[in-house]
Amino acid sequence: MIALQDRKLALWYIGVAYIAFLIGTLMGLLQVFIRNDKLQLPAWLDYYQILTAHGVLLALIYTTFFIFAFFVTGMSKSIGTFGPKVRLVSWIGFWVTLLGTVLATAMIVAGEASVLYTFYAPLMASGWYYVGLALFVVGTWISSFALIGHYRVWRKNNKGELSPLFAFMTITTIILWLIACLGVVATVLFQYIPWAFGWTDTINVELSRSLFWFFGHPLVYFWLLPAYIAWYVIVPKILGVKVFSDSLARLAFVLFILFSIPVGFHHQLTEPGISNFWKFLQVVLTFMVIIPSLMTAFTMFANFEISGRKKGATGLFGWFKKLPWKDVRFTSIFIAMAFFIPGGAGGIINASFQLNEVVHNTLWIVGHFHITVGTPVAMTFMGLTFWLIPYLTGRKFTKSMQILAFVQIITWSIGMLLMSTAQHILGLLGAPRRTAFSNYNNHPSAMEWFDGILTSHVTMAVGGSILFLSAMILIYIVAMSMFLSPKALKVEDQVEFPMAESDKTHTPKWLENWWIWIGIAFALIIIAYAIPLSSMIMHAPPGSEGFKTW
Ligand code: HAS
């Protein structure tokens, strides 16, 4: 069991994460009904306000707070209890992140920031919204530096040794996050805040979007990598095997530092103002960032097979039956992985220059991110939640909670399957994303989007309602394991942190030489971004004043 003070910090992070999850999923439910034409909002509430709250609370707040809870617990478990300085800095980081969250959320609730989670200019929110976002990022930086400090203490005391895999992967994710945030910090501090407070009249739209996506794409790997940590480190323990290959796991993670950042233009393939050459270069780099995910898929199949064979499985697929299906910690993560097969394939389609023309700005993209961040990532976090909170609170994960957990992951899978399939198909039929209305004055083309068993806004609403039900079951499980379930007094009732053994004997030491990876990452960023960004600045158009369309 980790120290009480570290547990307290992790529990606060989880508490905020699940408050955001509760409100965010409710906003999601409202959206599917509005798009299905079944719900009229009162005049004081706006569709885009709800959509902004949904995106910000789930994609940014839930994920980030959960990720830090996982990091704090895992770092304390793998390299030891936090020292007093690290603990103090971690708490400062937590409160600053929370302050930013509250300020940004208050602006959304006040109707001053219905600009969606991508906050594209020239839509203009209140300046305080951007201040909230800046504080949020600064808070995560402070927390990140606390974790780096903790890791440095361990390195000093264990000279010449490779760090435990969990710590290595946490530091990789944090390096990625710190570099990625440079883009969003630059645009928020030097473009949005002066513009929104009226200190400058106009904003360079193309530059602001490019700096946003400099951050926006690695952001998705900031969500994904903690899920991958669970896949590499937690899953083998549940399966009863060692980490398949320590060096492969570390290499996969450093490849994300290199290739996840210089690829943001693949979100801007249809935008004028960036020449095709730079778009093409970043598309090539996007295809490079697929490789570590394929390495991860290979490792997972290897884990499954080794564990199955150990339990006596024979034949090509005999191991499948031997997987621990009755253990919800495993089943949830397995389903999460399975969703990432179409999720990842969809990403490859999006990144393909010509196919992007078909899917960009349609509901296809909404389908894509619900089967990437909404399932592989979120369902892995759910699988972690089932043991992480009881581990931290010292309460039991009772039989009835386990049954409910199965109901929760099955309903989440069904809801997501219905909703995301409908979104993908509607996208191919031309239904746009980010619109408050969906029937276009009953135009015949738009009417097609309401027919069909799997292809309609009705299916989306059914799927969305099942998802909301599932989310409420999860909130119940979270509340039980936080406050209500009985204390685990006997050793056999206590929930453990499942962390697999990893054999480092053949792992090259240079894999943990961060300066190599940071250096190559910056070289790639300069190659991919220096010329197009400087040309956006040097040949800046007059810029745009702000618009408030809601
Ligand atoms: Fe993406 C848009 C390309 C991955 C999230 N993406 C988005 C947006 C979000 C998002 C939120 O190139 C919308 C942003 C907005 O609001 O505008 N994406 C990719 C590519 C990948 C990718 C190439 N995306 C993700 C992940 C996300 C995420 C991960 C969240 C966590 N995405 C794009 C592009 C766009 C985009 C364009 C812009 C589109 C546009 O026009 O607007 C790759 O990283 C995917 C690689 C993954 C794989 C899958 C490996 C499979 C594994 C599972 C193994 C399974 C096992 C289980 C072992 C190649 C690891 C076995 C089970 C059995 C049953 C057999």
Model pLDDT, residue 441: 86
Please answer whether residues 278 and 531 qualify as being in contact, where contact means their C-beta atoms are separated by less than 8 angstroms: yes
In a domain, 544, yes or no: no
CA of 91 to the centre of ligand 1 (A): 33
pLDDT of residue 454: 76
The sign of the CA dihedral 349, 353, 359, 364 is positive
Contact present, 343 and 375 (Cβ < 8 Å) = yes
Rounded to the nearest whole angstrom, what is the distance from the C-alpha of residue 344 to the centroid of ligand 1? 4
Q: Is 369 assigned a catalytic role?
A: yes
Is the Cβ–Cβ distance between 296 and 252 less than 8 Å? yes
Determine which residue's CA is closest to atom 17 belonging to ligand 1: 267
What torsion do the CA atoms of 171, 172, 178, 181 make, to the nearest 10 degrees? -140
Is 539 a known active-site residue?
Answer: no
Q: What's the confidence (pLDDT) of residue 146?
A: 98
pLDDT score, position 32 = 83
Catalytic-role residue among 54, 329, 370, 424 = 370
Exposure class string for 466-495: b at 16+ Cβ within 10 A, else e? bbbbbbbbbbebbebbbeebeebeeeeebb
Domain of residue 233, residue span = 4-538
Give the mutation target among 176, 177, 220 for probing the ligand 1 site: most ligand atoms within 8 A of CB.
Answer: 220
Residue 547 lies in a domain: no
Residues whose CB falls within 8 Å of the CB of residue 38, separated by 6 or more in sequence, listed in order: 461
Within a domain: 144 = yes
Distance 290 CA to ligand 1 centre (A): 9
pLDDT number for residue 457: 87
Is position 462 within any domain?
yes
- CB neighbour class for 343 (10 Å; exposed up to 12, middle 13-18, buried from 19): buried
Distance 356 CA to ligand 1 centre (A): 14
Distance 343 CA to ligand 1 centre (A): 5
Q: Record the tokens describing residue 235, joined without a space.
A: 């899953």
Among 256, 372, 434, which is best to mutate for testing ligand 1, by the most ligand atoms less than 8 A from CB? 372
- The widest CA-to-CA distance across the chain, in whole angstroms, is 71
Considering only CA atoms, which residue is closest to atom 62 of ligand 1?
338
CATH number of the domain encompassing residue 412: 1.20.210.10
Q: Is residue 59 part of a domain?
A: yes
Catalytic residue chosen out of the listed positions 35, 87, 217, 395: 217
Structural domain count, the chain: 1
Calculate how far, in angstroms, residue 420's C-alpha sits from the geometric centre of ligand 1: 13
Q: List all residues whose CB is within 6 A of at least one atom of ligand 1.
A: 118, 220, 223-224, 266-267, 286, 289-290, 293-294, 296-297, 300-301, 337-338, 340-341, 344, 347-348, 350-351, 356, 360, 365, 368-369, 372-373, 377
Per-residue model confidence (pLDDT) at position 499: 96
Q: Is residue 345 part of a domain?
A: yes
Tens digit of pLDDT at every position of the chain (550 positions)? 789 999 999 999 999 999 999 999 999 999 888 877 777 888 888 899 999 999 999 999 999 999 999 999 999 999 999 999 999 999 999 999 999 999 999 999 999 999 999 999 999 999 999 999 999 999 999 999 999 999 999 999 999 999 999 999 999 999 999 999 999 999 999 999 999 999 999 999 999 999 999 999 999 999 999 999 999 999 999 999 999 999 999 999 999 999 999 999 999 999 988 999 999 999 999 999 999 999 999 999 999 999 999 999 999 999 999 999 999 999 999 999 999 999 999 999 999 989 999 999 999 999 999 999 999 999 999 999 999 999 999 999 999 999 999 999 999 999 999 999 999 999 999 999 998 888 888 888 888 888 877 778 889 999 999 999 999 999 999 999 999 999 998 888 899 999 999 999 999 999 999 999 999 999 999 999 999 999 999 999 999 999 999 8
The answer for residues whose C-beta is within 8 angstroms of residue 306's C-beta and 6 or more apart is 239, 241, 244
Cis geometry, peptide bond prior to residue 292 (ω within 30 degrees of 0): no
Helices (H) and strands (E) in the chain, counts: 20, 0
Residue 546 lies in a domain: no
DSSP letter at 547? Answer: B
Indicate the SS3 state at residue 214: helix
Residue 496 located in a structural domain: yes
Extended strands (E) in 78-183: none
* Catalytic, out of 7, 87, 267, 368: 368
